Amino acid sequence: MNTTSSRSLLGTALLLLPFTTFILRAEGIPATAPSPATSPAKPVPTPYEHTAPTNPALPPPDADIWKQTWHDMNRPYPPVSTPLPEEELAARSKAPSNAIVLFDGKDLSAWQPSKWVVKDGYVEVTPNSGNLMTKQAIGSMKLHVEWWTPEPLTGQDGQKRNNSGILFMDPKDGFEIQVLDSYNNKTYADGIAGAVYGQYPPTSNPIRPPGHWQYYDITFHHPKFDAKGNLTKAAHVTVDFNGVRVQDDTTIIGSTHGPARRAYKAMPDAMPLGLQDHHDRVRFRNIWYVPIED
Ligand code: MG
């Protein structure tokens, strides 16, 4: 094609452009396709779901967890169980002498700078301000934390009913024990309070109604990796929820964060602990931990 005919074609195209745009708009079709760079990522299950792993650090290929679908609304709900009386929980929740206190109701000096608010002995999420992260990197630990959710507003259901979480080993690639008002609240079983989020529902549901303090005692063992970044020991967790054991040395199968199940990503032996900002005004108090053997 010579230069003259190229110019002629270009000129015709430029002349037709406004007309083409008009037709596309008239059809209700956007004249400009969204840029791939700004399009939100679609939540699609990863191949990791239903994958029978060969890594002996993970549950065997015939384990039930590999047959479960992420966020399956038909997955059976755990039965309701009875929490211990609040006086008993309060009496057993005092920090022992070897504990490292992360929040005693007064200040957030153990935490990275944030906009979360300390008031009347608790700290409250400031919605959309980001997770609250410890200054200190922590590895395996026995953690105590108490949390509280307000009365839900009309229409505040499912995962939107005062959601937060305890974030172990990094909010990007780590592991969440769910915090949610799961009192008479229907959502997927692997997303209710006491769940290893997206993996294991709690074995029972001992939650109190909103407006009461809820007690978590969590024994967490961090994952281990070899020099090449291969998983050699999975993270595992035991959760006592209001005095009822709801996770018993549960083997975590990978990162709980993101829009699908994810495999492990290599990480250090200790990382900051986080409390999740899921845009709801959830409160926390009496937070302490005791370091434990891996
Ligand atoms: Mg959460």
Q: What is the per-residue pLDDT across 82-138, written as a single tens digit (0 to 9) for each? A: 999 999 999 999 999 999 999 999 999 999 999 999 999 999 999 999 999 999 999
Q: How far is the CA of 195 from the centre of ligand 1 (A)?
A: 10
Measured torsion, CA atoms of residues 49, 55, 59, 64, in degrees rounded to the nearest 10: 30
Q: How far is the CA of 88 from the centre of ligand 1 (A)?
A: 27
Q: How far is the CA of 121 from the centre of ligand 1 (A)?
A: 22
Confidence category of residue 34, pLDDT binned at 50, 70, 90: very low
pLDDT on residue 182: 98
Q: How far is the CA of 97 from the centre of ligand 1 (A)?
A: 30
Task: Dump pLDDT digits (tens) for 2-30.
Answer: 444 444 444 444 343 333 333 333 223 23
Tokens 């290893």 label which residue?
A: 196
- Whether 150 is in a domain gets the answer yes
- Whether 2 is in a domain gets the answer no
- Whether 191 is in a domain gets the answer yes
* Mean pLDDT across the chain: 86
Task: Dump pLDDT digits (tens) for 49-86.
Answer: 666 678 999 999 889 998 889 999 999 999 999 999 99
- Whether 18 is in a domain gets the answer no
- Whether 19 is in a domain gets the answer no
CA dist 138 and 99 (Å) reads 13
- Whether 285 is in a domain gets the answer yes
- Whether 258 is in a domain gets the answer yes
Q: How far is the CA of 119 from the centre of ligand 1 (A)?
A: 22
* 3-class SS of residue 133: strand
Q: How far is the CA of 28 from the centre of ligand 1 (A)?
A: 38
Give the residue from 262, 240, 263 showing the smallest Cα distance to 250. 240
Q: How far is the CA of 8 from the centre of ligand 1 (A)?
A: 60
Q: How far is the CA of 279 from the centre of ligand 1 (A)?
A: 10
Give the residue from 212, 241, 209, 235 showing the smallest Cα distance to 222. 235
Range of the domain at 162: 67-291
Q: How far is the CA of 164 from the centre of ligand 1 (A)?
A: 4
pLDDT on residue 232: 96
- Whether 264 is in a domain gets the answer yes
Q: Tell me if 174 sits within 8 A of 166, measured CB to CB.
A: no
Q: How far is the CA of 278 from the centre of ligand 1 (A)?
A: 6
The enclosing domain of 192 has a CATH number of 2.60.120.560
Count of domains forming the chain: 1
pLDDT on residue 98: 97
Q: How far is the CA of 197 from the centre of ligand 1 (A)?
A: 8
Q: How far is the CA of 179 from the centre of ligand 1 (A)?
A: 6
